Structures are given as C-alpha cells and as structure tokens.
Amino acid sequence: MSKVEKRDEIFRAALELIAEHGFHGAPMAMIAERAGVGAGTIYRYFENKDVLITELYSEIEGRIYPVIMEGYPEIKAFRERFLHLGTELLRYFIENPLDFRYLEQFHNSPYGVEFRRDRLLGEIEERFVFRELFEVGIAQQVMKDVPLAILFALAFGPLLSVARDHILGFVTLDDDLIARTIEACWDAVRR
C-alpha cells in the first residue's frame, strides 16, 4: 500500500469503528487492525488519537462542502439558498450514514464543542457558508434576529433528527418529504 492508501485505510477504519463503537470504543490498535496496518504504523500518520479524530472530521467536512456548494445559487433569494444548502446537506447525510454518525458523535463531544464555539463566534478564518448566510439574513431582516446558536438549532436540529430517523429506519425520506422538511426548517428561521 502507498502512503496515501494507508492513510485512507486508517481513515476508513476509524470512521467505521467510531461510528459503530464511539470514540472510546475504538482504540488505536483496533483501528490499525481494521485498516490492515501495524499498530506502530498508525502513529507515522497521526501523532495521537486526538489528531486522528480531528483530521477525520476535516476530511469529512472536505467531502461535504463541495457537495452542498454545487449549484449553490449565491445570487438568489435567501429562501432559495437556504433550501439548497439544507436539501443538499440532508441528502449527503442520507447517502453517507457513517459520515453522519461520526459527525453526530464529534459534535456532541468536547472536540465538537470547541469546534462549534469557533464557528459560531467567528474565531476561525475559513469561510463558513451557513454562518455567512445567517449573518446577512439577520442584517437584512430576512431571518429571525436571534443569536446564531439559536438559528443553527432551529435550522439544523430538525434536519439532524430527521436524518437520524431515516438512517435508523423510522422514516423513509423521498424527494417530496425532503423538500417539505427543509421548507419547515426555513419556516423556523425566516422572519
């Protein structure tokens, strides 16, 4: 295996094991074994498990962003932009349940708390399309004038719950139900 292939296999194994067993139930030795690499090899790529966890998060986010931005109607009305982003994000989660399960665990862990704080408070430099959309929406009085954390909860809390219920088999999301779900999320945040 090449270095890139080994790294990809470690990411794949970590994603599967963490999605199945959580962060604590997926020790580095188990990840190395699932990846088909030696226990010491994994440390050539990742200094420790914390680094692996945060780099895997960045890897997943790097896969999501181009998907949700494809066809993004930047010059359209807020509603259309919101519906596009929400729809594409929900579709991504449905099509990539392991990524979704990993992200849920990440965002509900100390790793995710710090990350969310940086995103919501603007302490990171990178572009974050949702935050930009919401800030402009508030400024132009298109969206409710509440703290960003509340807008995110109103917009994405239901989306995440519906994605989880679809993955668990409690509901089957088709195109119509996805559209109605995202429209309901819009109703929650619009002014």
CB 22 within 8 A of CB 105: yes
CB 102 within 8 A of CB 56: yes
CB 178 within 8 A of CB 87: yes
Residue 124 confidence (pLDDT) above 80 = no
Mean pLDDT of 150-166: 94
The CA-atom distances, in angstroms, between 182 and each of 27, 92, 102, 133 are 37, 14, 22, 16
pTM beyond 0.85: yes
